[in-house]
Amino acid sequence: MRPIVKGNCPKDSHGRALVFTDYRNARGELVKRLGQYCSYCEMKMGASLAVEHIQPICPEGVSSDIRERKESWDNFLLACTNCNSIKGNNDVLLDEHHL
């Protein structure tokens, strides 16, 4: 995994942090900052990149989505279909990556 520096949450025209109630809406901002690359395998991709949650929104043993994980800019990356599928619902060990 390449070092990822996506910066702080993007802001609207009034300087307020954007709220991503639908995480997929963060894709454009992520592409602007990270390029069209999978954050895991580093393959340059086009339209098939998806917004991926670093920490799962509904981890094993939890009965419903954790809203803070689902909507948090800090929990978003871009991933290709293959890497997103392989990662699945597993936690990413943040100490092992350059985020």
Note the pLDDT tens digit of each residue in 4-18: 788 999 999 999 999
**DSSP conformation letters of 30-95:** HHHHH-SB-TTT--B-STT-EEEESS-SS-TT-SS--HHHHH-GGGEEEE-HHHHHHHTTPPP-GG
Q: pTM of the prediction?
A: 0.83
Quick count: other Cβ atoms within 10 Å of Cβ 14?
5
- Domain boundary assignment for the chain: 23-96
Summarised one tens digit per residue, pLDDT across range 37-93 is 998 889 998 788 999 998 999 988 889 999 999 999 999 999 999 988 888 787 776
Q: What is the pLDDT confidence band of residue 1, given thresholds at 50, 70 and 90?
A: low
> Side-chain half-sphere of 98: how many Cα atoms within 13 Å?
5
- Name the band, by pLDDT with cuts 50, 70 and 90, for residue 95: low
- Give the tokens for residue 33: 């900052």
